[in-house]
Structure 1
Amino acid sequence: MRYQSGPAKPAHVFGRGAEWDGLTGFVNRPFPHAMLGIVSGRRRMGKTYLLRALAEQRGGFYFGATAGTEAESLRQFSSALAEHVGSPVPFSFDGWDDAITYLFGLAAPGRGDAPLLVVIDEFPYLVQTAPQLPSLIQREIDRFQVEESRMRLLLCGSAMSVMGGLLASTAPLRGRAQLELVVRPFGYRAAADFWGVAGDPGLAARLHAVVGGTPAYRRQFLADDVPASLRDFDDWICRTVLSPFSPLFREARYLLAEEADIRATALYHSVLAAVAQGNTTRGGIAGYIGRKSVDISHPLNVLEDSDLLVREPDVFRAGKSQYRITEPLINFYEAVMRPAWARLESGQAAEVWERASERFAAQVAGPHFEAVCREYVLGPGRSLLSTSLGEVGGGVVTDSKERRQIQIDVAVVEPGSGGSRPSVALLGEAKWGTVMGVGHLERLSRARELLTARGMDTTRCGLACFSAAGFSDALRAEAERGGVLLVGLDELYGRAMPTGFVP
């Protein structure tokens, strides 16, 4: 079905082209019945900014809920709705049942031709005090799947576990949504453009390792305080993230406390600290915090549902996986700030930061660089592969003869189907602070041999070295001869093409 084209994205909305197209496609779809969309994403991602712009452009009704009692929330909703329809006096609904019925009545045939866009932001605040709301909305959606309606309802929220539960299993709205949009952080390249540092990849990489792609951190939190250059980065860290007078100073704590399903935050901070310290397996996390593996299932599940932790499968070993913190600022807090919290609160940012350089490189920048390299292969680097893109991830290849394990940071694996064998399209290693040499290439070559011996098809498997610190002359010479890709910061940020090629 061809959707009607809508107005262009406003110039003041940075990026979010795909999200804008998805939202306008939802609103403009020529469907004669009510439609429901779910928009979620962690706080500070710009969801409200995006949805306000859409509502303003389409003349829709936008309501941003706040934490309050059921009666107060209903009163605020009623007042906002009365103002939207131009009523000279506020509405006074007996309950949410009447309010939702009236809202859907506004989209009935005969009251206009264009779709009626309704945005209810921070919906979890309303559900907390009025748990019947999803069922009331389900009733109206089902009713107007039979009768005609111009309703285009978007429910938005930042509590990821709550928003995810709206469409899960036996939830009332299960199967009713025509749009499920997650507003994610900017990718590393878009974040560099947003912060205005794309011309300095070294600065862009360090900045992204700390604040990630959260748009609110630049403007709302720091009032456009951007490091002027790589030389200014240390001072910038001390005057912003590590300063007790900065809004970013306690932001990592707030991100955790805001999740509805997280109660005893101490346990969750311990789990995150374990991962930040390099204990990325379930057993490693349990050992770090002094619990049994079975006892940490709940906090791990909650952190995953909250999109603060992700479990990444080992692409070479079935059943094995590692956990990674998805929010860079939380990882930075757990690795650098939390161990020195008392000193930071007393204003010793410069001293703490000077002593934390090794921790930052090993526990923050290094793991983050590996994730960025995988993002590169998924995105702009996918054209470098001669085969169709398979699963991108990392894993461990065991070398029994040498009694060692070879860590593969970036791998592209295509599962076998029918009579074909599983194949490997790329094996890569990523180093943040190490100049990579021929030894790294030899380790990758050995991993390829081991995978071949295991029955995997490696005939078109290329090797790749990713380094933020550079490459030795000998490795560059190997790349010139072919068979290995060299990808540095300039290549990751699109300022240069990778050296070498893959089969």
Structure 2
Amino acid sequence: MEAGKPSYVFDRGAEWEALSAFAGRPLPHAMLGVVSGRRRMGKTYLLRALVEQCGGFYFGATAGAEAESLRQFSSALAGHVGSPVPFAFATWHDAITYLFGLAAPGSGGRPFLVVIDEFPYLVKSSPELPSIIQREIDRYQAEESRMRLLLCGSAMSVMGGLLASSAPLRGRAQLELVVRPFGYRAAADFWGVADDPALAARLHAVVGGTPAYRRQFLADDVPASLADFDDWIRRTVLSPFSPLFREARYLLAEETDIRDTALYHSVLAAVAQGNRTRGGIAGYIGRKSVDISHPLNVLEDSHLLMRDADVFRAGKSQYRITEPLINFYEAVMRPAWAQLENGQAAEVWAQATERFAAQVAGPHFEGVCREYVLGPGRSLLSTSLGQIGGGVVTDPKARCQIEIDVAVVGPGSGGAKPSVSLLGEAKWGTVMGVKHLERLGRARDVLAGRGYDTARCALGCFSAAGFSDALRTEAERGGVLLIGLDELYGRTMPDPVLP
């Protein structure tokens, strides 16, 4: 029986449904779940709420030597079962064996939920722990057990490796859940700025959808209006007295696989400066492409960097930073770190207006537009199928490349041509006009000449600054989507496009 989500847990409906279904599933054997996600996403908050609703045992590990960690676990487990004296397990083998014994069939009727949080801390000092858990899981697949074990952690590379290739727990998990940041609309609701899309878009470009930043870090210091945004930036993110000031550095330092943080910051800075290809990143930091393979892989495994495939050119891709605060740090803060530490936030921010627009807000806006098409905007198109991304269309006649920020491309199968249902361009600070539409139209013609089915391809103009009257007139003829901030945040609903 699934537990109802508490009212104090904001959003996270899908995550709660998956967790409560796992915790309450009435099967007669042990079950394993793995919950991961970058720090500050609210994993612990969510799991503690689950234990509170369902009952069970929660243990939050800390960094420490094996003997200390085992002693802490033993003490917590003794408290859970009501033992008057702490347990003194000699090894993790003894502790895990006892833990699974608590879920034996004769000890009660309903499933026994166990949450071990920050599991990577335990694995670091006791690498054999996954193998010990695997042995008990396998044992209680054959024997009856009420065990519902959730392993949780923030070190993405470690958590991802728990179920990979030849890892001991490979094939043993019935749940693998990644707790991600809030989407841009949910984040606006969480910060209480959904009624001001211009403010919501700027705020999301800086702090993204990380829930801890509002309450734990800033004690509910929210910009009161768009006019207050600049002052909010100066008194929070750019203030050396604010917890957010060094947060981007800490996010990188906390990843266990990152050793040379200077190199990784250089890679991220290269991407923030607009060098998004492997060759561009290598050239920016003065290395050969082969020399940056490892840091790129580590940053991808840590979910700090993502590689987006070009939907029109096989084998081509570009990198982007997934954490907005890191992108803001690399583009705005790191180049002026000495001045910021000296309390010159006002001067730094005054000089960073163009950089913020070009390197932070602009690229972030493109991602928000793709998220819109992936979610509420899908109903506007002629089909809900297809890959959403961006890419480059090469125009051989004009000898130029047309960058497409938002595209929906369907794969060809059974002899059918690959189809394109949307070609879009996104502009943060530019009022879009007919020329933008003509460029998209030219890209559609080029793709049609290359064998794509473009018969029902809509053209989309996404702008945070608005649209010219001439473009609006063109849009009224049909086949064109005009999506501004009001549409992105659901304050206005555009008409479906059915060319």
**8 Å CA contact 2:23, 2:54 repeated in 1:** no
Q: Which residue of structure 2 lines up, in the alignment, with residue 429 of structure 1?
A: 425
Query: Could you say what secondary structure the match of 1:485 adopts?
Result: strand
Q: Which residue of 2 aligns with 1:276?
A: 272
Report the CA distance between 1:480 and its aligned residue. Answer: 1.0
Task: Tell me what 2:488 maps to.
Answer: 492
2:205 to 195, 209, 214: 209
The TM-score, its normalising length taken from structure 1, stands at 0.99
Question: Take 1:339 and 1:7, find their aligned partners in 2: how far apart are those partners?
Answer: 49
| Alpha carbons 1:444, 1:463 under 8 Å: kept | yes
For residue 176 of structure 1, the aligned residue among 172, 186, 193 is 172
Tell me if 1:324 matches 2:306: no
Contact 1:486 1:500 in 2 (8 A): no
1:351 paired residue number? 347
| SS, match of residue 406 in structure 1 | strand
Q: Tell me the equivalent position of 1:50.
A: 46
**d(CA) in 2 for partners of 1:306 and 1:495?**
35
Query: Which residue does the alignment assign to 1:460?
Result: 456
Q: Which amino acid aligns with 2:177?
A: L
C-alpha contact 1:13 1:50 (8 A) present in aligned 2: yes
Match of 2:85 among 77, 89, 92: 89
Alignment counterpart, residue 287 of structure 1, candidates 268, 283, 289: 283
1:7 to partner: Cα distance: 2.4
Structure 1: stretches of 5+ with no match in the other structure = none
Counterpart pick for 2:139 among 139, 143, 148: 143
CA-CA distance at 1:499 after TM superposition: 5.7
Of 31, 39, 44, 1:35 maps to 31
Aligned to 2:311: 315
Tell me the CA shift for residue 72 of structure 1: 0.3
Distance 1:427 1:146 in 2: 54
Give the Cα separation in 1 of the matches to 2:328 and 2:438.
33
Partner of 1:154: 150
The 5-angstrom pairing of residues 272-421 of structure 1 reads: 272-421=268-417
| CA displacement at 1:281 relative to structure 2 | 0.2
Tell me which residue corresponds to 1:472. Answer: 468
How far is 1:158 from its partner? 0.1
* CA apart distance, 1:8: 1.1
Paired-residue identity, % = 84
Rounded to whole Å, the distance in 2 between the matches of 1:88 and 1:445 is 76
1:259 equivalenced with 2:255 (yes/no)? yes
Looking at structure 1, the residues matched to 367 and 181 of structure 2 have their Cα atoms a distance apart, in angstroms, of 14
Deviation, 1:56, is 1.2
**Residue 182 of structure 2 corresponds to residue 167 of structure 1:** no
Q: For 2:110, which of 110, 114, 127 is the aligned residue?
A: 114
Query: Offset at 1:30?
Result: 2.0
Tell me by how many angstroms 1:185 deviates: 0.1
Partners of 2:116 and 2:498 in 1: how far apart? 49
- Secondary structure of the residue aligned to 2:420 is strand
In structure 2, which of residues 13, 22, 26 is the aligned counterpart of residue 26 of structure 1? 22
Q: CA deviation at 1:498?
A: 2.2
The match for 1:7 among 3, 9, 15 is: 3
Question: For the residues of structure 2 that align with 1:451 and 1:324, how far apart are their CA atoms?
Answer: 25
Question: 1:431 touches 1:468 (CA, 8 Å); kept in 2?
Answer: yes
State the match for 1:221 in structure 2. 217
SS of the residue aligned with 1:110?
A: helix
Preserved CA contact (<8 Å) 1:481 1:500? no
**Deviation digits for residues 24-46 of structure 1, max 9, x if unmatched?**
11111121100000000000000
Whole-angstrom CA distance in 1 between matches of 2:276 and 2:34: 32
Cα deviation code 1:14-68 (max 9, x no counterpart) = 0100000000111111211000000000000000000000011111100000000
Instruction: Report the 3-state secondary structure (helix = DSSP H, G, I; strand = E; otherwise coil) of the residue aligned with 2:106.
Output: coil
- Is it true that 1:187 corresponds to 2:175 in the alignment? no
In 2, Cα distance between the equivalents of 1:429 and 1:416?
24
Q: Contact 1:115–1:152 at 8 Å: present in 2 too?
A: yes
1:129 paired residue number: 125
Aligned equivalents of 2:114, 2:399: Cα separation in 1: 61
Q: C-alpha root-mean-square deviation of aligned residues, in Å? A: 0.7
> Unmatched 5+ residue regions in structure 2?
none
Runs of 4+ in 1 over 4 A off after TM superposition: none
Q: Does 1:69 align with 2:65?
A: yes
Q: Is the 8 A contact 1:409 1:430 kept in 2?
A: yes
Maintained 8 Å contact 1:119/1:154: yes
Partners of 2:379 and 2:496 within 8 A in 1: no
What is the CA distance between 1:250 and its match in structure 2?
0.2
> Paired residue for 1:102?
98
Taking the aligned partners of 1:502 and 1:79, their CA distance within structure 2 comes to 64
How big is the shift at 1:336?
0.2
Is this contact kept in 2: 1:314–1:395, CA < 8 A?
Answer: yes
Q: Is the 8 A contact 1:361 1:432 kept in 2?
A: yes
In 1, Cα distance between the equivalents of 2:26 and 2:48? 22
Distance 2:171 2:497 in 1: 46
For the 8 Å contact 1:479–1:501, the answer to whether it is kept is no
Would the aligned equivalents of 1:406 and 1:443 in 2 still touch at CA under 8 Å? yes
Instruction: Give the deviation of 1:502 after TM superposition.
Output: 4.1
Does the 8 Å contact 1:390/1:412 carry over to 2? yes
**Alpha-carbon distance between aligned partners in 2 of 1:62 and 1:27, rounded to the nearest angstrom:** 13
Give the SS at the match of 1:481. Answer: coil
**Cα deviation, residue 389, structure 1:** 1.9
Which whole-Å deviations, capped at 9, do the CAs of 1:205-264 have from their partners, x for residues lacking one?
000000000000000000000000000000000000000000000000000000000000
Structure 1: which amino acid aligns with 2:288? K
In 1, distance between residues paired with 2:217 and 2:352?
A: 24
Amino acid at match of 1:171: A
Separation (CA, whole Å) in 2 of partners of 1:417 and 1:60:
49
